[in-house]
Amino acid sequence: MQQQKRRTLIALAIVVVLGAGVAGSVLRPWHSGEAHANTPPPAPSIEVAAAVGQTITEWDEFSGRLEAVDRVEIRPRVGGTIDAVHFREGALVKKGDPLFTIDPRPYAAEVARAEAALAAAQVRAAHAKTEGERAQRLLDDNAISRREFDERIHAARETSANVRAAQAQLETARLNLAYTRITAPVSGRVSRAEITVGNLVAPGVATPPLTTVVSVSPIYASFEIDEQSYLRYTAPGAGGGQANLPVYLGLANEDGHPHQGKIQSVDNRLDTRSGTIRVRAVFDNDDGRLLPGLYAKVKMGGGAPHAAVLVNDRAVGTDQGKKFVLVVDKANKLVYREVELGPNYEGLRVIRKGLKPGESIVVNGLQRVRPGDTVQPKAVAMAYRSELEPRQAAPDRKQAASGKGDGNEGKPVS
């Protein structure tokens, strides 16, 4: 009996021990998870830079195309066979230089015929004039009737008109003969000969051009500016006026804008679809480097120097059409700040409104944080665009399509 009680007590003790172990194994993860959940994650380390305050002279940059001041399509004014081409393709020609010769022989013959017709008309007119004078004397002596006198006077007037008609026909024949020698109407650069020697050409606007000539200097640069730039610079009453507005131009392979020009004209209406207005500037092109059709980088503006706030473009985000930056406050929290952008200035973006000089903003990893987040700011210098250019390699196609970056946005280059 006692031995059975002893066995029962041992079994109960084993059950209690096993139950305590199971309960501990169940409760321990729950308690540790609760403690882990109550521990906040560490604040992310984010690179920030101070907004640059600087006195600048503001410029606006636009894209455009070069256009020739004069562009002439050379078409024949008389028909015939091309006898000669007098120019080298792509060469510079002066106004009046010969370009083509059309077979002049038919037109020279027409000039000779018109000259003969004029001579005959002049002879008839002289005879009719003599007859008219004789008729006047006979009428004074009552030797002829009034009717016969009138007929002779009318005949003299008719032959005189025939002389003028023959002179006009001769002038037309001479013009047609002159048109067989096609010359450059303006000075400039000539294109290739579209129709060569031996081909038959016909006059008229619908005929294909023989070649084209474009003027070289000066040259136009046409570009479009937005409404705000128009009101600020080129509108009537804007400071300085169009004539005093400096304009600079650079080609696609040139650093900066080495060519200086001036505004030549501004269009008479704003395009409501694009919100822009067309502007034309004129530049000297004595060396012929500026070629019509080339891409043009145009810089316009200037004015009095003024204080401005500058940041790198990587620090600026887009939120449903609005531009913003994330400012780090004294508690290391991120504050959403809407800003108004200005033009680029020496590699940095001008901030017109919304930011003060010296305020710290996120310049790298903008997509990894949100307003209200607490961060560990890591101060870096505001990187200029020229400093970032070595890192701007072409992105991977898949990466570009997905819209994901490499995580290095905004990092300054050491």
Q: In a 10 Å sphere around its CB, with 0-12 CB exposed, 13-18 middle and 19+ buried, how is residue 106 labelled?
A: middle
What Rg, from alpha-carbon coordinates, does the chain have?
45
| CA-closest candidate to residue 72, choices 32, 99, 52 | 99
Q: How many beta carbons lie within 10 A of that of residue 352, not counting itself? A: 13
Q: State percent of the chain over pLDDT 90.
A: 46
Average pLDDT over residues 87-103: 95
pLDDT of 343: 81
pLDDT tens digits, residue range 12-22? 666 555 555 54
219 near 292, Cβ under 8 Å? yes
On the question of pLDDT at 373 being above 80, the answer is yes
Copy the structure tokens of residue 20: 């305590």
Q: Which fold has domain 48-54+307-402?
A: 2.40.420
325: which strand partners?
A: 337
pLDDT of 17: 52
pLDDT of 337: 92
Stretch among 73-87, 166-180, 352-366 having the lowest mean pLDDT: 352-366
Residues in the chain: 414
pLDDT of 19: 56
For residue 335, give the DSSP letter. E
pLDDT of 236: 62
Q: Residue 303: left if φ>0, alpha if ψ -120 to 50, beta else—which one?
A: left
Find the Cα–Cα–Cα–Cα dihedral 67, 68, 70, 71, rounded to 10°: -80
Average pLDDT over residues 85-95: 94
Q: Which fold has domain 61-69+216-301?
A: Elongation Factor Tu (Ef-tu); domain 3 (2.40.30)
Q: How many beta carbons lie within 10 A of that of residue 276, not counting itself? A: 18
280 vs 194: CA distance, rounded Å: 31
pLDDT tens digits, residue range 152-185? 888 889 999 999 999 999 999 999 999 999 999 9
pLDDT of 18: 55
Upstream peptide bond of 357 is cis (omega within 30 degrees of 0): no
CATH of 105-179, one of 1.10.1200.10, 1.20.1560.10, 2.60.120.10, 1.10.287.470: 1.10.287.470
User: In b/e form, how buried is each residue of 303-338, taking b as 16+ CB within 10 angstroms?
Assistant: eeeeebbbbbebbbeeeeeebbbbbbeeeeebeebe
Sequence letter at residue 10: I
Q: Residue 329: left if φ>0, alpha if ψ -120 to 50, beta else—which one?
A: beta
The residues spanned by each domain of the chain are 48-54+307-402, 61-69+216-301, 72-98+187-214, 105-179
Average pLDDT over residues 266-281: 92
Query: Tokens 């020697």 identify what position?
Result: 197
pLDDT of 246: 81
227 vs 292: CA distance, rounded Å: 27
CATH of domain 72-98+187-214: 2.40.50.100
- Is the pTM higher than 0.85? no
Chain-centre distance for alpha carbon 241: 22
Q: How many beta carbons lie within 10 A of that of residue 179, not counting itself? A: 17
Copy the structure tokens of residue 382: 């505001």
On average, the pLDDT of the chain sits at 82
- The CA–CA distances, whole Å, from 25 to 32, 38, 62 equal 11, 21, 71
295 vs 63: CA distance, rounded Å: 7
Q: What is the DSSP string of 229-279?
A: HIIIIISTT-TTTTTT-EEEEE-TTSSS--EEEEEEEE-SS-BTTTTEEEE
